[in-house]
Amino acid sequence: MSKSVFSEKYHLFRKLLVQARQLANLTQSELSAKLSRPQSYVSKYERGERRLDLIEFLEVAEALQIEPATFINQLLEEKEDK
């Protein structure tokens, strides 16, 4: 089993997070301010240098005003399409 941070599914997860941020019309700096974290926090998880755990993902989803279950369903659907 490969490490999930390097898997195609995790790559898609990161891609969808970037898309969600862009759809929310937020820069990395603006999102990091909403999360009370440095801009590098957003940059690192978007580039795959840092993994998000479940609680962190839920905080990001809240800051982006996205429904976590909908996001996860989209991830699963897009993975099936490939």
Is the predicted pLDDT of residue 14 greater than 90, yes or no?
Answer: yes
Confidence (pTM) = 0.87
- Tell me the domain boundaries of the chain: 4-81
Q: What is the pLDDT of residues 16-72, one digit of tens each?
A: 999 999 999 999 999 999 999 999 999 999 999 999 999 999 999 999 999 999 999
- CB environment 47-81: b (16+ within 10 A), e (fewer): eeeeebeeeebebbbebbebeeeebeebbeeeeee
Phi-psi region of 27 (alpha: psi -120 to 50; beta: other; left: phi over 0): beta
Is the predicted pLDDT of residue 2 greater than 60, yes or no?
Answer: no
pLDDT at 82: 59
Asked if residue 34 lies in contact with residue 63, where contact means CB atoms within 8 angstroms, the answer is yes
Query: Can you read off the two tokens belonging to residue 49?
Result: 């240098």
pLDDT at 27: 98
Say which CATH topology domain 4-81 has. 434 Repressor (Amino-terminal Domain) (1.10.260)
Closest CA relative to residue 18, chosen from 43, 54, 49, 36: 43
